[in-house]
Amino acid sequence: MLTLPPSKLPQVGTTIFTVMSRLAAECGAINLSQGFPDFDPPSRLLDLVTEKMRAGINQYAPMSGWPALLEAVAGKVRDLYGCVVDPQSAVTITSGATEALFCAVHAVVRPGDEVILLEPAYDSYQPAVELAGGRTVRVPLLRPGFGVDWDRVRTAVTARTRLLIVNSPHNPTGAVFAPSDLDALEDVLRDNDVLVLADEVYEHMVFDGRPHLSLLGRPALADRSFVVSSFGKTYHCTGWKVGYCVAPPALTGEFRKVHQFVQFAVAAPMQAAFAQFLVDCPGHAHALADFYQSKRDRFRDLLAATPLRAVPAAGTYFQLAEYSAVSRLPDVEFARWLTREIGVAAIPVSVFSTAPTEERVVRFCFAKNDATLDAAGARLSQLGVAGGLR
Residues engaged in binding ligand PMP (CB under 6 A): 35, 96-98, 122, 167, 171, 199, 201, 230, 232, 238, 241, 243
What one-letter code names the amino acid at 336?
A: R
Quote the least distance from Cβ 190 to ligand PMP, whole Å.
27
Q: Binding to ligand GLN by residue 232, rule CB under 6 A? A: no
Of the candidates 260, 209, 174, 200, which has an alpha carbon nearest to the alpha carbon of residue 73? 200
CA distances (Å), origin 142, targets 148, 244, 317, 360:
6, 30, 21, 16
Task: State the binding partner of 15 from ligand GLN, ligand PMP, none, CB within 5 to 8 A by kind.
Answer: ligand GLN
Quote the least distance from Cβ 241 to ligand GLN, whole Å.
10
Nearest to ligand PMP by Cβ — which residue?
Answer: 96
Cα–Cα distance measured from residue 19 to residue 29, given in angstroms and rounded to the nearest whole number? 13
Quote the least distance from Cβ 171 to ligand GLN, whole Å.
5
CA distances (Å), origin 332, targets 172, 347, 388:
15, 8, 19
Cα–Cα distance measured from residue 165 to residue 91, given in angstroms and rounded to the nearest whole number? 19
Q: Binding to ligand GLN by residue 353, rule CB under 6 A? A: no
Cα–Cα distance measured from residue 204 to residue 114, given in angstroms and rounded to the nearest whole number? 30
Query: Considering beta carbons, is residue 230 or 306 the nearer one to ligand PMP?
Result: 230
What are residue 363's DSSP bridge partners? Answer: 320, 347
Query: Considering beta carbons, is residue 34 or 168 the nearer one to ligand GLN?
Result: 34
- Per-residue interface string for the shown chain with ligand GLN, residues 120-159, x marking contact by CB under 6 A: ----------------------------------------
Quote the least distance from Cβ 93 to ligand PMP, whole Å.
11
Peptide bond into 172 cis (omega under 30): yes
Task: State the binding partner of 94 from ligand PMP, ligand GLN, none, CB within 5 to 8 A by kind.
Answer: none
152 and 200 Cβ atoms separated by less than 8 Å: no
Query: Considering beta carbons, is residue 241 or 295 the nearer one to ligand PMP?
Result: 241
Q: How many residues bind ligand GLN (CB under 6 A)?
A: 5
Three-state DSSP class for residue 323: coil
Q: Binding to ligand GLN by residue 35, rule CB under 6 A? A: yes
Peptide bond into 120 cis (omega under 30): yes
Quote the least distance from Cβ 100 to ligand PMP, whole Å.
8
What are residue 196's DSSP bridge partners? Answer: 164, 225
Q: Binding to ligand GLN by residue 22, rule CB under 6 A? A: no
Q: Binding to ligand GLN by residue 171, rule CB under 6 A? A: yes
For residue 244, the surrounding DSSP H or E stretch is: strand 243-246
Residues forming the site for ligand GLN (CB under 6 A): 15, 17, 34-35, 171
